[in-house]
Amino acid sequence: MQQIFTSDRMAAFFRSIGVAKLSNDWSFKMTANTLENHWMPFTANRSFKKQPRLLVRAEGMYYWDHNGKKILDGAAGIHCVNAGHGRPEIRNAIAKMLQDVDYVPHFSVGHPISFELAQKIARITPGDLNYLFFVNSGSEAVDTAMKMALAYHYARGEPQRVRFVGRQRAYHGVNFGGLSVSGMVKNREAFGVGLPGTVHIRHTFCEEQRFSNGQPEMGANFAEDLQRVVETFGAKSIAAVLVEPVAGSTGILVSPRGYLERIREICTENGILMIADEVGTGFGRTGAAFASERIGVVPDLMTMAKAITNGTVPMGAVAASENIYKTITDSAPDGATELFHGYTFSAHPVACAAGVAAMDIYENEQLFDRAMAISGYFLDSLRALRDLPAVIDVRGFGLMAGVELVKGEHVGQRGHAALRDLFDAGLLIRAPGDTLALTPPLTIEKPHVDEMCEKLRGVIKRI
């Protein structure tokens, strides 16, 4: 296989889709060798490099691939482009910041824009989660929240609280802390046991929940598994519990009604911190700023990333309660560093500029409300696929939905085949196992939903 992408060919392509100018020095000969050096994440590298899927432009609800094909983005990238692609407000904010300054360290010095972004996010976080610590990804956010939990208990005089509780079928990133509390076996099996003492409670899914409308009515009692852990290991050994309001990476598993509320009760009763992982559910994905707000639960710590910059620049954050922030900071002498943690690129000014612009878009265009308004049509349209023999469940919450297919010879066989066929049909999705995960930009409109469902039906009915 060899395809030649010359400047003239690419310029003609870009003109055909509305871009007036392309750099004249851009040319690329794509062969197996030219693709070889990039070791791609969470990818079947050998298969991809035999038949690559390259996206070269994005605008609004669509991507365009290297052959000029228009592809509806049914995944918002990876749940991160909530305001749609190609937003000039964010692009201009990034360019302006780069004109002013390229980098500012945030160890004992800073830039004003990080404080502006922290204020904007604090206005939409639930409860008193008003203290923002900036990182560079969801994985870093999770590990940072875990370290904050340990530091909090240490400052309170309970350093023995070092145990973390995760869940089966959970995803909390790929760094060693988050990997330890995650419940995805394939993500862990090649990397050892992780943090000692970590335990997992059961996941929230059961057969009776299939085709639920929003939060399932059955399953609140699964939270009692946390009480079992407390009684088995002792509350005073446990630092924190990590939960996703909606488990996205294992097939869009929505927390049952009353489940998170009971988790919150058990944590409060036993001095355990509740960490809500909202990396995939934050910034309007469920029809509210954060899923915790929509469900009505206030955690002690909350992670976020992805849509914090609308996917334009890598960034994440942890929102901490006033109690946690002041307990840790007040425990150190005046003038001393309170938390020995951070990253070279924490609160990078370019990322903060993108974040401020994204927050303004979310507010000015009322995108969280728009997501809530169209979520009923989105979920109802997808539930109409239940008449297809290959569909065994459709579940969702807000603008998150999973269409689960009947299992093939092995887990993931049909899901990944459908992912490839849908891409060829002009729809980008994600496929954890045999579930087709739909998490489109919040700017989606009814014609986009109809187009999405038409393409899904066309591919699934051939299974």
Which two three-digit tokens encode residue 168? Answer: 């089966």
Q: Work out the average pLDDT over 209-235.
A: 97
Q: Which pairs from 183-186 meet CB under 8 Å and 24+ separation?
A: 183/250, 184/249, 184/250
Residue 81: per-residue pLDDT: 98
Q: Residue 55 phi/psi, 5° resolution?
A: -105, 125
Cα separation, 271 vs 237, in Å, equals 10
Residue 194: per-residue pLDDT: 83
To the nearest whole percent, how much of the chain has pLDDT over 90?
86
Domain with CATH 3.40.640.10 in the chain: 89-364
The yes-or-no verdict on residue 2 having pLDDT over 70 is: no
The CATH number given to 53-83+367-460 is 3.90.1150.10
Query: Which helix or strand (DSSP H or E) is residue 86 part of?
Result: none
The single-letter DSSP state of residue 346 is: T
Strands 400-405 vs 391-397: parallel, antiparallel or unpaired: antiparallel
Cα separation, 269 vs 260, in Å, equals 14
Cα separation, 161 vs 437, in Å, equals 37
Q: Cα–Cα distances in Å, from 292 out to 140, 282, 283, 304, 318? A: 20, 9, 11, 12, 14
Cα separation, 80 vs 439, in Å, equals 9
Q: What is the pTM of this model?
A: 0.92
Class of the CATH domain delimited by 89-364: alpha beta
CB under 8 Å to 276, separation ≥6 — which residues? Answer: 243, 244, 245, 290, 291, 292, 297, 299, 301, 302, 303
Band the pLDDT of 29: cuts 50, 70, 90: low
The chain-wide mean pLDDT, for the chain, equals: 93
Which two three-digit tokens encode residue 258? Answer: 């009353």
Q: How many helices (H) and strands (E) does the chain have?
A: 17, 18
Q: Residue 253 phi/psi, 5° resolution?
A: -95, 110
CB under 8 Å to 55, separation ≥6 — which residues? Answer: 63, 64, 65, 66, 71, 428
pLDDT in tens, 335-357: 999 999 999 999 999 999 999 99
Among 143, 137, 164, 71, which residue's Cα sits nearest to residue 419?
71
Cα separation, 266 vs 243, in Å, equals 13
Cα separation, 136 vs 343, in Å, equals 8
Query: Tokens 């592809």, residue?
Result: 71
Q: Work out the average pLDDT over 359-387.
A: 98
* Residue 235, SS3 per DSSP: helix
pLDDT in tens, 398-420: 999 999 999 988 888 999 999 99
Band the pLDDT of 187: cuts 50, 70, 90: confident
Cα separation, 398 vs 90, in Å, equals 25
Query: Which helix or strand (DSSP H or E) is residue 157 part of?
Result: none
CB under 8 Å to 34, separation ≥6 — which residues? Answer: 28
The yes-or-no verdict on residue 371 having pLDDT over 60 is: yes
Among 450, 282, 462, which residue's Cα sits nearest to residue 380?
450
Q: Which pairs from 326-329 meet CB under 8 Å and 24+ separation?
A: 327/152, 327/155, 327/156, 328/148, 328/151, 328/152, 328/155
Q: How many residues does the chain have?
A: 463
Q: Work out the average pLDDT over 63-81.
A: 96
Strand residues in 14-108 grouped as ranges (E): 28-30, 55-59, 62-65, 70-73
Residue 111: per-residue pLDDT: 97
The yes-or-no verdict on residue 9 having pLDDT over 80 is: no
Alpha helices in 158-275 (DSSP H): 176-181, 185-188, 224-233, 259-270
Residue type present at position 444: I
Band the pLDDT of 18: cuts 50, 70, 90: very low
